Structure 1
Amino acid sequence: MARIRYGARTETEIAAARTTSAGLPDIWSTGVVAVWESDPYAVAAVLPPPLEPTGRPLVRATVSTVGLPGYPLGAGSVAVAAGHRGVEGWYPLVMPMTHERALTGGREVFGEPKKLGEVTVERDGPVVRAVLARHGIAFVEIRGAVSAPLPLPGPTRKTDFYFKFLPAVDGSGFDLGPVLVHCVRNEKVRRLEQVTGDVVLRESMYDPVADLPVRTLVGITLGEKTSDQKGRVAERVDARALLPYLHQRYDDPQQILDGPPEGSV
Protein backbone atom coordinates (compact mmCIF):
# COMPACT_ATOMS: atom_id res chain seq x y z
CA MET A 1 0.00 0.00 0.00
CA ALA A 2 1.27 3.47 -0.86
CA ARG A 3 2.53 5.63 1.98
CA ILE A 4 -0.07 8.19 3.10
CA ARG A 5 2.13 11.27 3.39
CA TYR A 6 -0.24 13.15 5.71
CA GLY A 7 -0.26 10.14 8.00
CA ALA A 8 1.54 9.88 11.33
CA ARG A 9 5.32 9.60 11.39
CA THR A 10 6.86 6.80 13.40
CA GLU A 11 8.94 7.48 16.50
CA THR A 12 12.02 6.33 14.58
CA GLU A 13 11.36 8.82 11.78
CA ILE A 14 10.81 11.67 14.25
CA ALA A 15 14.04 10.85 16.10
CA ALA A 16 15.96 10.62 12.81
CA ALA A 17 14.72 14.06 11.74
CA ARG A 18 15.85 15.60 15.03
CA THR A 19 19.27 13.94 14.77
CA THR A 20 19.74 15.20 11.20
CA SER A 21 18.79 18.79 12.05
CA ALA A 22 21.14 18.80 15.05
CA GLY A 23 24.08 17.79 12.86
CA LEU A 24 23.77 20.38 10.11
CA PRO A 25 27.02 22.05 9.02
CA ASP A 26 27.62 25.78 9.43
CA ILE A 27 25.42 27.78 7.08
CA TRP A 28 27.06 31.04 5.99
CA SER A 29 25.31 34.22 4.96
CA THR A 30 26.54 37.31 3.14
CA GLY A 31 24.92 40.42 4.47
CA VAL A 32 24.86 44.17 4.90
CA VAL A 33 24.20 45.57 8.37
CA ALA A 34 23.41 49.22 9.05
CA VAL A 35 23.05 50.68 12.54
CA TRP A 36 21.83 54.19 13.33
CA GLU A 37 20.69 56.32 16.20
CA SER A 38 17.05 57.29 15.88
CA ASP A 39 14.51 59.32 17.79
CA PRO A 40 14.46 58.13 21.43
CA TYR A 41 10.71 58.60 21.70
CA ALA A 42 10.06 56.56 18.55
CA VAL A 43 12.26 53.67 19.70
CA ALA A 44 10.64 53.59 23.14
CA ALA A 45 7.16 53.76 21.60
CA VAL A 46 7.52 50.49 19.66
CA LEU A 47 8.67 48.38 22.65
CA PRO A 48 5.95 46.29 24.26
CA PRO A 49 6.37 45.80 28.01
CA PRO A 50 8.29 44.33 29.72
CA LEU A 51 10.94 45.38 27.14
CA GLU A 52 12.62 48.70 27.89
CA PRO A 53 14.82 51.16 25.97
CA THR A 54 18.58 50.88 26.37
CA GLY A 55 21.06 53.71 26.80
CA ARG A 56 21.08 54.51 23.07
CA PRO A 57 18.06 54.63 20.70
CA LEU A 58 19.63 52.32 18.11
CA VAL A 59 18.01 50.76 15.06
CA ARG A 60 19.59 47.93 13.08
CA ALA A 61 18.74 46.84 9.53
CA THR A 62 20.15 43.53 8.30
CA VAL A 63 19.91 42.38 4.67
CA SER A 64 21.40 38.96 3.87
CA THR A 65 21.55 36.11 1.40
CA VAL A 66 21.85 32.73 3.10
CA GLY A 67 23.50 29.66 1.57
CA LEU A 68 20.88 27.12 2.60
CA PRO A 69 21.42 23.67 1.03
CA GLY A 70 19.21 23.26 -2.01
CA TYR A 71 18.04 26.83 -2.45
CA PRO A 72 19.21 30.38 -1.73
CA LEU A 73 17.35 32.43 0.85
CA GLY A 74 17.01 36.16 1.25
CA ALA A 75 16.57 37.16 4.89
CA GLY A 76 16.21 40.58 6.45
CA SER A 77 15.37 42.32 9.68
CA VAL A 78 14.70 45.76 11.10
CA ALA A 79 15.12 45.81 14.87
CA VAL A 80 15.45 48.30 17.71
CA ALA A 81 17.74 48.06 20.73
CA ALA A 82 15.93 46.77 23.81
CA GLY A 83 16.59 45.46 27.27
CA HIS A 84 14.95 42.94 29.57
CA ARG A 85 15.99 42.12 33.14
CA GLY A 86 19.58 43.19 32.63
CA VAL A 87 19.91 41.54 29.19
CA GLU A 88 20.47 43.88 26.24
CA GLY A 89 19.54 42.81 22.74
CA TRP A 90 17.32 43.62 19.78
CA TYR A 91 13.57 43.60 19.23
CA PRO A 92 12.80 42.93 15.55
CA LEU A 93 9.76 44.69 14.13
CA VAL A 94 9.74 42.98 10.74
CA MET A 95 11.76 40.13 9.24
CA PRO A 96 11.22 39.76 5.47
CA MET A 97 12.01 36.32 4.05
CA THR A 98 11.95 35.20 0.43
CA HIS A 99 10.62 31.67 1.07
CA GLU A 100 7.72 30.34 3.11
CA ARG A 101 9.89 27.55 4.51
CA ALA A 102 11.90 30.16 6.40
CA LEU A 103 8.73 31.70 7.85
CA THR A 104 6.95 28.85 9.54
CA GLY A 105 9.55 27.54 11.98
CA GLY A 106 10.57 30.98 13.16
CA ARG A 107 7.03 32.23 13.64
CA GLU A 108 5.58 29.09 15.21
CA VAL A 109 8.52 28.11 17.41
CA PHE A 110 10.10 31.42 18.43
CA GLY A 111 7.40 33.99 17.63
CA GLU A 112 9.57 35.81 15.06
CA PRO A 113 7.74 38.54 13.06
CA LYS A 114 8.62 36.99 9.70
CA LYS A 115 6.76 37.93 6.52
CA LEU A 116 7.24 37.11 2.84
CA GLY A 117 9.17 39.83 1.06
CA GLU A 118 11.93 40.69 -1.38
CA VAL A 119 15.51 40.77 -0.11
CA THR A 120 18.34 41.96 -2.33
CA VAL A 121 22.10 42.13 -1.74
CA GLU A 122 24.17 43.33 -4.72
CA ARG A 123 27.85 44.08 -5.09
CA ASP A 124 29.54 45.46 -8.21
CA GLY A 125 33.19 46.03 -7.44
CA PRO A 126 33.21 48.25 -4.38
CA VAL A 127 29.60 49.40 -4.85
CA VAL A 128 27.07 47.77 -2.53
CA ARG A 129 23.28 47.94 -2.52
CA ALA A 130 20.95 46.11 -0.14
CA VAL A 131 17.15 46.37 -0.17
CA LEU A 132 14.18 45.14 1.87
CA ALA A 133 10.90 45.36 -0.05
CA ARG A 134 7.30 44.25 0.42
CA HIS A 135 4.13 45.05 -1.52
CA GLY A 136 6.26 46.70 -4.21
CA ILE A 137 7.79 49.19 -1.77
CA ALA A 138 11.54 49.22 -1.08
CA PHE A 139 11.06 50.41 2.50
CA VAL A 140 14.76 50.05 3.41
CA GLU A 141 17.66 50.68 1.03
CA ILE A 142 21.29 50.63 2.12
CA ARG A 143 23.76 51.88 -0.46
CA GLY A 144 27.43 52.73 -0.52
CA ALA A 145 30.91 51.52 -1.37
CA VAL A 146 33.32 49.23 0.44
CA SER A 147 35.97 51.50 1.91
CA ALA A 148 38.21 49.28 4.07
CA PRO A 149 38.60 45.79 5.54
CA LEU A 150 37.77 45.45 9.22
CA PRO A 151 39.38 43.18 11.82
CA LEU A 152 37.39 40.03 12.47
CA PRO A 153 35.59 39.97 15.81
CA GLY A 154 35.79 36.87 17.95
CA PRO A 155 32.75 34.67 18.50
CA THR A 156 29.94 36.78 19.91
CA ARG A 157 26.70 36.05 21.70
CA LYS A 158 23.65 38.06 20.67
CA THR A 159 20.07 38.10 21.94
CA ASP A 160 16.85 38.86 20.10
CA PHE A 161 13.52 39.31 21.87
CA TYR A 162 10.27 37.89 20.44
CA PHE A 163 6.69 37.68 21.64
CA LYS A 164 5.03 34.34 20.95
CA PHE A 165 1.24 34.33 20.97
CA LEU A 166 -1.95 33.19 19.27
CA PRO A 167 -4.81 35.67 18.71
CA ALA A 168 -8.04 34.37 20.20
CA VAL A 169 -10.47 32.41 18.06
CA ASP A 170 -13.30 34.79 18.93
CA GLY A 171 -11.19 37.87 18.11
CA SER A 172 -10.88 39.01 21.72
CA GLY A 173 -7.39 38.89 23.21
CA PHE A 174 -5.33 35.71 23.02
CA ASP A 175 -5.72 31.97 23.15
CA LEU A 176 -3.33 31.01 25.95
CA GLY A 177 -1.05 33.52 27.59
CA PRO A 178 1.63 35.23 25.45
CA VAL A 179 5.28 34.69 26.34
CA LEU A 180 8.49 36.66 25.87
CA VAL A 181 11.22 34.62 24.18
CA HIS A 182 14.96 35.20 24.45
CA CYS A 183 16.58 33.86 21.28
CA VAL A 184 20.34 33.59 21.75
CA ARG A 185 22.71 33.29 18.79
CA ASN A 186 26.38 32.40 18.86
CA GLU A 187 27.86 34.17 15.85
CA LYS A 188 31.13 33.66 13.95
CA VAL A 189 32.41 36.04 11.27
CA ARG A 190 34.90 35.10 8.54
CA ARG A 191 34.92 38.33 6.50
CA LEU A 192 34.04 41.91 7.40
CA GLU A 193 34.35 45.17 5.46
CA GLN A 194 33.41 48.74 6.17
CA VAL A 195 30.94 50.42 3.84
CA THR A 196 30.73 54.18 3.40
CA GLY A 197 27.22 55.11 2.39
CA ASP A 198 23.74 55.91 3.63
CA VAL A 199 20.38 54.42 4.57
CA VAL A 200 17.14 55.38 2.84
CA LEU A 201 13.83 54.69 4.58
CA ARG A 202 10.72 54.91 2.40
CA GLU A 203 7.14 55.31 3.53
CA SER A 204 5.11 52.10 3.71
CA MET A 205 1.79 51.60 5.45
CA TYR A 206 2.70 47.92 5.81
CA ASP A 207 6.23 48.36 7.18
CA PRO A 208 6.40 51.86 8.72
CA VAL A 209 10.09 51.83 9.62
CA ALA A 210 10.26 55.39 8.30
CA ASP A 211 8.95 56.31 11.77
CA LEU A 212 12.46 55.41 13.03
CA PRO A 213 14.48 58.07 11.18
CA VAL A 214 18.25 58.07 10.75
CA ARG A 215 19.49 60.78 13.13
CA THR A 216 23.13 59.63 13.24
CA LEU A 217 24.52 56.78 11.15
CA VAL A 218 26.67 54.59 13.41
CA GLY A 219 28.02 52.40 10.63
CA ILE A 220 27.48 50.05 7.71
CA THR A 221 29.29 46.74 7.23
CA LEU A 222 29.37 43.96 4.65
CA GLY A 223 30.36 40.55 5.91
CA GLU A 224 30.06 36.78 5.96
CA LYS A 225 28.85 35.09 9.14
CA THR A 226 27.28 31.96 10.56
CA SER A 227 25.39 31.38 13.79
CA ASP A 228 23.37 28.88 15.75
CA GLN A 229 20.33 29.78 17.81
CA LYS A 230 18.53 28.59 20.90
CA GLY A 231 15.39 30.04 22.41
CA ARG A 232 13.88 30.00 25.87
CA VAL A 233 10.73 31.41 27.40
CA ALA A 234 11.94 34.23 29.66
CA GLU A 235 8.55 35.03 31.18
CA ARG A 236 4.82 35.04 30.62
CA VAL A 237 3.66 38.54 29.82
CA ASP A 238 0.56 40.58 30.63
CA ALA A 239 -1.84 39.99 27.76
CA ARG A 240 -3.53 43.36 28.27
CA ALA A 241 -0.18 45.15 28.04
CA LEU A 242 0.80 43.33 24.83
CA LEU A 243 -2.54 43.69 23.05
CA PRO A 244 -2.02 47.33 21.92
CA TYR A 245 1.11 46.19 20.02
CA LEU A 246 -0.51 43.21 18.30
CA HIS A 247 -0.91 45.14 15.05
CA GLN A 248 2.89 45.12 14.59
CA ARG A 249 2.65 41.52 13.41
CA TYR A 250 0.05 42.01 10.66
CA ASP A 251 -0.33 43.96 7.41
CA ASP A 252 -4.11 44.30 7.72
CA PRO A 253 -5.59 45.15 11.13
CA GLN A 254 -8.78 43.34 10.07
CA GLN A 255 -6.79 40.10 10.43
CA ILE A 256 -6.91 40.55 14.19
CA LEU A 257 -10.13 42.57 14.45
CA ASP A 258 -7.91 45.43 15.59
CA GLY A 259 -10.14 48.19 14.33
CA PRO A 260 -12.34 49.38 11.48
CA PRO A 261 -10.85 50.07 8.05
CA GLU A 262 -9.99 53.64 7.10
CA GLY A 263 -12.98 55.74 6.14
CA SER A 264 -15.54 53.63 7.99
CA VAL A 265 -18.09 55.20 10.29
Structure 2
Amino acid sequence: MTPFLRTPSDVLAAPRFVGEQLLVRFRTDPQVYRRLLPPPLEPAEEPIALAAVGRWRSNCVGDYAGGSVALSAVHAGDAGGFAVGMWMDSEPAVHFGREVFGEPKKLGTSGLTREGTRAHGWIERGGVRLVSLHATLGEDQGASNIDRLAFNYRARTAADGRGLAGPAILTRTTFATRLEARFTGTGTVTLRSGPHDPAGEIPVLEVLGAEYQVHDLRANCVPSDEVPAAEFLLYHLGRQDDWRLLDTLDPNQEERS
Protein backbone atom coordinates (compact mmCIF):
# COMPACT_ATOMS: atom_id res chain seq x y z
CA MET A 1 0.00 0.00 0.00
CA THR A 2 1.48 3.35 -1.02
CA PRO A 3 1.76 5.98 1.74
CA PHE A 4 -0.77 8.42 0.23
CA LEU A 5 -3.46 5.70 0.19
CA ARG A 6 -3.06 4.87 3.89
CA THR A 7 -5.59 6.23 6.33
CA PRO A 8 -4.62 7.29 9.88
CA SER A 9 -6.26 4.10 11.12
CA ASP A 10 -4.07 2.04 8.80
CA VAL A 11 -1.00 3.58 10.44
CA LEU A 12 -2.28 3.18 14.00
CA ALA A 13 -3.14 -0.47 13.38
CA ALA A 14 0.23 -1.50 11.91
CA PRO A 15 3.07 0.47 13.51
CA ARG A 16 6.64 -0.44 12.56
CA PHE A 17 9.88 0.63 14.23
CA VAL A 18 13.39 0.03 12.85
CA GLY A 19 16.44 0.77 14.95
CA GLU A 20 18.92 -0.33 17.57
CA GLN A 21 18.83 -0.73 21.33
CA LEU A 22 21.09 -1.45 24.31
CA LEU A 23 19.46 -3.53 27.06
CA VAL A 24 20.71 -4.53 30.51
CA ARG A 25 18.83 -7.09 32.61
CA PHE A 26 19.11 -7.16 36.39
CA ARG A 27 17.61 -8.73 39.48
CA THR A 28 15.82 -6.33 41.82
CA ASP A 29 14.32 -6.41 45.31
CA PRO A 30 11.31 -8.80 45.48
CA GLN A 31 9.22 -6.52 47.70
CA VAL A 32 9.74 -3.44 45.54
CA TYR A 33 9.08 -5.56 42.46
CA ARG A 34 5.72 -6.83 43.71
CA ARG A 35 4.66 -3.39 44.93
CA LEU A 36 5.16 -1.86 41.48
CA LEU A 37 3.08 -4.45 39.59
CA PRO A 38 -0.53 -3.24 39.18
CA PRO A 39 -3.41 -5.72 39.13
CA PRO A 40 -4.10 -8.04 37.40
CA LEU A 41 -0.42 -8.55 36.51
CA GLU A 42 1.31 -11.32 38.44
CA PRO A 43 4.98 -11.59 39.35
CA ALA A 44 7.28 -13.78 37.29
CA GLU A 45 9.31 -16.54 38.93
CA GLU A 46 12.14 -14.10 39.59
CA PRO A 47 12.09 -10.30 40.16
CA ILE A 48 13.83 -9.38 36.90
CA ALA A 49 13.98 -5.84 35.54
CA LEU A 50 15.24 -4.45 32.26
CA ALA A 51 16.69 -1.04 31.44
CA ALA A 52 16.98 -0.09 27.77
CA VAL A 53 18.05 2.85 25.58
CA GLY A 54 17.58 3.02 21.81
CA ARG A 55 16.85 5.02 18.67
CA TRP A 56 14.43 4.28 15.86
CA ARG A 57 12.89 5.22 12.54
CA SER A 58 9.19 4.48 12.09
CA ASN A 59 6.19 4.48 9.78
CA CYS A 60 4.07 6.47 12.24
CA VAL A 61 5.98 8.86 14.56
CA GLY A 62 9.09 9.84 12.60
CA ASP A 63 12.60 9.39 14.00
CA TYR A 64 12.98 9.30 17.76
CA ALA A 65 15.16 8.09 20.62
CA GLY A 66 14.59 7.16 24.22
CA GLY A 67 14.38 4.30 26.65
CA SER A 68 12.61 2.61 29.50
CA VAL A 69 12.77 0.67 32.75
CA ALA A 70 10.50 -2.38 32.80
CA LEU A 71 9.65 -5.31 35.04
CA SER A 72 8.98 -8.92 34.09
CA ALA A 73 5.30 -9.77 34.52
CA VAL A 74 2.74 -12.47 33.80
CA HIS A 75 -0.89 -12.19 32.68
CA ALA A 76 -3.20 -15.07 31.82
CA GLY A 77 -0.21 -17.39 31.90
CA ASP A 78 1.83 -15.38 29.38
CA ALA A 79 5.15 -13.75 30.29
CA GLY A 80 5.99 -10.23 29.16
CA GLY A 81 7.28 -6.89 30.34
CA PHE A 82 5.61 -3.99 32.16
CA ALA A 83 7.21 -0.54 31.78
CA VAL A 84 7.30 1.50 34.98
CA GLY A 85 8.92 4.43 33.18
CA MET A 86 9.50 5.48 29.56
CA TRP A 87 11.16 8.62 28.21
CA MET A 88 11.24 9.72 24.55
CA ASP A 89 12.67 12.77 22.79
CA SER A 90 9.73 13.59 20.49
CA GLU A 91 6.09 14.53 21.03
CA PRO A 92 4.75 12.13 18.36
CA ALA A 93 6.48 9.18 20.04
CA VAL A 94 5.12 10.20 23.45
CA HIS A 95 1.56 10.79 22.22
CA PHE A 96 1.39 7.61 20.15
CA GLY A 97 2.73 5.47 22.98
CA ARG A 98 0.38 6.89 25.58
CA GLU A 99 -2.77 7.12 23.45
CA VAL A 100 -2.50 3.83 21.54
CA PHE A 101 -0.54 1.39 23.70
CA GLY A 102 -1.05 3.04 27.11
CA GLU A 103 2.70 3.37 27.70
CA PRO A 104 3.79 5.73 30.53
CA LYS A 105 5.87 7.89 28.19
CA LYS A 106 7.26 11.33 29.04
CA LEU A 107 9.56 13.72 27.19
CA GLY A 108 13.25 13.22 27.93
CA THR A 109 16.66 13.19 26.27
CA SER A 110 18.91 10.22 25.66
CA GLY A 111 22.10 9.07 24.00
CA LEU A 112 23.40 5.79 22.61
CA THR A 113 26.91 4.96 21.36
CA ARG A 114 28.68 1.78 20.29
CA GLU A 115 32.38 1.59 19.47
CA GLY A 116 33.73 -1.88 18.86
CA THR A 117 32.84 -4.05 21.84
CA ARG A 118 31.80 -1.13 24.04
CA ALA A 119 28.31 0.39 24.25
CA HIS A 120 26.86 3.15 26.41
CA GLY A 121 23.34 4.53 26.76
CA TRP A 122 21.73 7.11 28.99
CA ILE A 123 18.41 8.88 29.67
CA GLU A 124 17.99 12.33 31.24
CA ARG A 125 15.00 14.38 32.34
CA GLY A 126 14.89 17.63 34.27
CA GLY A 127 18.67 17.72 34.55
CA VAL A 128 18.89 14.28 36.18
CA ARG A 129 20.57 11.28 34.51
CA LEU A 130 17.89 8.72 35.35
CA VAL A 131 19.41 5.74 33.52
CA SER A 132 23.03 4.98 32.65
CA LEU A 133 24.01 1.75 30.91
CA HIS A 134 27.45 0.40 30.01
CA ALA A 135 28.18 -2.88 28.23
CA THR A 136 31.06 -4.96 26.96
CA LEU A 137 29.83 -7.02 24.03
CA GLY A 138 30.88 -10.23 22.32
CA GLU A 139 30.45 -11.48 18.77
CA ASP A 140 27.28 -11.04 16.73
CA GLN A 141 24.90 -13.92 17.46
CA GLY A 142 23.35 -13.57 14.01
CA ALA A 143 19.87 -12.84 12.69
CA SER A 144 16.75 -14.37 14.21
CA ASN A 145 13.03 -13.81 14.71
CA ILE A 146 11.38 -13.50 18.12
CA ASP A 147 8.07 -12.31 19.54
CA ARG A 148 7.84 -10.46 22.83
CA LEU A 149 4.91 -9.16 24.87
CA ALA A 150 4.46 -5.82 26.60
CA PHE A 151 1.70 -4.99 29.09
CA ASN A 152 0.52 -1.41 29.57
CA TYR A 153 -2.52 0.45 30.91
CA ARG A 154 -4.77 2.95 29.21
CA ALA A 155 -6.34 5.23 31.82
CA ARG A 156 -7.72 8.78 31.90
CA THR A 157 -7.97 11.23 34.76
CA ALA A 158 -11.56 12.32 35.46
CA ALA A 159 -12.53 15.75 34.13
CA ASP A 160 -12.88 17.16 37.65
CA GLY A 161 -9.41 15.90 38.57
CA ARG A 162 -10.66 13.44 41.16
CA GLY A 163 -10.14 9.79 40.33
CA LEU A 164 -10.32 8.19 36.91
CA ALA A 165 -12.88 8.65 34.17
CA GLY A 166 -13.49 4.91 34.07
CA PRO A 167 -11.74 1.59 34.48
CA ALA A 168 -8.16 1.21 33.34
CA ILE A 169 -7.67 -1.01 30.30
CA LEU A 170 -4.78 -3.45 30.38
CA THR A 171 -3.30 -3.65 26.88
CA ARG A 172 -1.25 -6.47 25.41
CA THR A 173 1.20 -5.54 22.66
CA THR A 174 2.96 -8.20 20.64
CA PHE A 175 6.21 -7.07 19.03
CA ALA A 176 7.08 -9.34 16.11
CA THR A 177 10.81 -8.73 15.98
CA ARG A 178 13.37 -9.38 13.27
CA LEU A 179 16.81 -9.25 14.90
CA GLU A 180 19.26 -8.25 12.18
CA ALA A 181 22.16 -8.41 14.64
CA ARG A 182 22.44 -9.34 18.32
CA PHE A 183 25.51 -8.84 20.51
CA THR A 184 25.48 -10.20 24.08
CA GLY A 185 27.84 -9.52 26.95
CA THR A 186 28.26 -8.04 30.40
CA GLY A 187 27.11 -4.66 31.64
CA THR A 188 26.28 -2.23 34.39
CA VAL A 189 23.16 -0.18 35.13
CA THR A 190 22.76 2.89 37.32
CA LEU A 191 19.30 4.25 38.13
CA ARG A 192 18.64 7.62 39.76
CA SER A 193 15.48 9.51 40.69
CA GLY A 194 14.28 12.96 39.70
CA PRO A 195 11.43 14.88 41.35
CA HIS A 196 8.89 13.27 39.01
CA ASP A 197 10.73 10.11 37.97
CA PRO A 198 11.52 7.69 40.83
CA ALA A 199 13.64 5.29 38.78
CA GLY A 200 16.23 5.18 41.54
CA GLU A 201 13.75 3.47 43.86
CA ILE A 202 14.27 0.22 41.92
CA PRO A 203 17.30 -1.50 43.48
CA VAL A 204 19.90 -3.08 41.19
CA LEU A 205 20.91 -6.20 43.12
CA GLU A 206 22.60 -8.26 40.41
CA VAL A 207 23.27 -7.55 36.73
CA LEU A 208 22.39 -10.60 34.64
CA GLY A 209 23.68 -9.54 31.24
CA ALA A 210 23.66 -6.97 28.46
CA GLU A 211 22.55 -7.09 24.86
CA TYR A 212 22.78 -4.80 21.83
CA GLN A 213 20.15 -5.32 19.14
CA VAL A 214 19.67 -4.06 15.60
CA HIS A 215 16.04 -4.84 14.90
CA ASP A 216 12.84 -4.35 12.93
CA LEU A 217 9.69 -4.30 15.12
CA ARG A 218 6.08 -4.69 14.02
CA ALA A 219 3.55 -4.14 16.78
CA ASN A 220 0.00 -5.31 17.36
CA CYS A 221 -1.87 -4.00 20.41
CA VAL A 222 -5.18 -5.29 21.80
CA PRO A 223 -7.17 -4.69 25.01
CA SER A 224 -6.71 -7.60 27.39
CA ASP A 225 -8.40 -6.84 30.74
CA GLU A 226 -10.03 -4.14 32.87
CA VAL A 227 -9.07 -2.79 36.29
CA PRO A 228 -11.62 -0.87 38.43
CA ALA A 229 -10.75 2.82 38.64
CA ALA A 230 -10.37 2.79 42.42
CA GLU A 231 -7.84 -0.06 42.24
CA PHE A 232 -5.68 1.59 39.59
CA LEU A 233 -5.79 5.22 40.73
CA LEU A 234 -2.56 5.19 42.79
CA TYR A 235 -0.67 3.49 39.96
CA HIS A 236 -2.08 6.05 37.50
CA LEU A 237 -0.93 8.98 39.63
CA GLY A 238 2.48 7.38 40.05
CA ARG A 239 2.95 7.32 36.27
CA GLN A 240 2.41 11.08 36.03
CA ASP A 241 4.43 14.04 37.25
CA ASP A 242 3.77 15.08 40.84
CA TRP A 243 1.41 18.02 40.29
CA ARG A 244 2.04 19.26 43.84
CA LEU A 245 5.65 20.04 42.98
CA LEU A 246 4.58 22.18 40.00
CA ASP A 247 2.83 24.86 42.08
CA THR A 248 4.56 28.16 41.22
CA LEU A 249 2.03 30.50 42.82
CA ASP A 250 3.03 32.82 45.65
CA PRO A 251 1.65 31.21 48.85
CA ASN A 252 1.23 34.69 50.36
CA GLN A 253 -0.94 35.87 47.50
CA GLU A 254 -4.59 35.99 48.47
CA GLU A 255 -6.92 33.69 46.53
CA ARG A 256 -9.76 35.33 44.69
CA SER A 257 -13.10 34.78 46.35
Fold shared per TM-score above 0.5: yes
Partner residue of 1:21 out of 11, 20, 27: 11
Counterpart AA for 1:36: F
Gaps of 5+ in 1: 1-12, 256-265
Structure 1 residues 14 and 45, CA gap change in structure 2 (3 angstroms): farther
Gaps of 5+ in 2: 246-257
The equivalent of 1:75 in structure 2 is 66
Aligned partners of 2:126, 2:38: CA distance in 1, in Å? 26
Query: What SS does the aligned partner of 2:40 have?
Result: coil
What's the CA shift for 1:41? Answer: 0.6
Aligned partners of 1:67, 1:168: CA distance in 2, in Å? 34
Q: C-alpha offsets along residues 74-133 of structure 1, whole Å, 9 cap, x if unaligned?
A: 021110011111111111011111100111121112211111001110123333210011
Aligned partners of 2:71, 2:207: CA distance in 1, in Å? 14
Written as runs of structure 1 = structure 2, the 5 A alignment for 1:161-240 is 161-240=151-230
Q: Is the 8 A contact 2:15 2:218 kept in 1?
A: no
More strand by share: 2
The equivalent of 1:112 in structure 2 is 103
Partner residue of 1:85 out of 65, 76, 81: 76
Counterpart AA for 1:122: T
Q: C-alpha offsets along residues 42-88 of structure 1, whole Å, 9 cap, x if unaligned?
A: 11010111111110101111100113479631021110011111111
What's the CA shift for 1:213? Answer: 1.4
| RMSD of aligned Cα (Å) | 2.5
Aligned partners of 2:208, 2:107: CA distance in 1, in Å? 28
What's the CA shift for 1:25? Answer: 9.8
Q: Is the 8 A contact 1:247 1:253 kept in 2?
A: no
Aligned partners of 1:165, 1:25: CA distance in 2, in Å? 21
What's the CA shift for 1:248? Answer: 2.2
The equivalent of 1:128 in structure 2 is 119
Partner residue of 1:39 out of 25, 29, 35: 29
Q: Point out the more displaced range, 153-162 or 223-232.
A: 153-162
Counterpart AA for 2:67: G
Q: Point out the more displaced range, 24-33 or 118-127.
A: 24-33
Query: What SS does the aligned partner of 1:195 have?
Result: strand
Aligned partners of 1:22, 1:94: CA distance in 2, in Å? 22
Query: What SS does the aligned partner of 1:104 have?
Result: helix
Aligned partners of 1:131, 1:216: CA distance in 2, in Å? 19
Aligned partners of 1:25, 1:182: CA distance in 2, in Å? 14
Query: What SS does the aligned partner of 2:183 have?
Result: strand
* 1:160 maps onto 2:158 in alignment: no
Query: What SS does the aligned partner of 2:71 have?
Result: strand
Aligned partners of 2:225, 2:234: CA distance in 1, in Å? 19
* 1:138 maps onto 2:129 in alignment: yes
Aligned partners of 2:49, 2:131: CA distance in 1, in Å? 12
Query: What SS does the aligned partner of 1:155 have?
Result: strand
Aligned partners of 2:12, 2:63: CA distance in 1, in Å? 20
Aligned partners of 1:174, 1:134: CA distance in 2, in Å? 26
Q: Point out the more displaced range, 24-33 or 77-86.
A: 24-33
The equivalent of 2:56 in structure 1 is 66
Structure 1 residues 24 and 171, CA gap change in structure 2 (3 angstroms): closer
What's the CA shift for 1:189? Answer: 0.3
**Sequence identity percentage:** 27
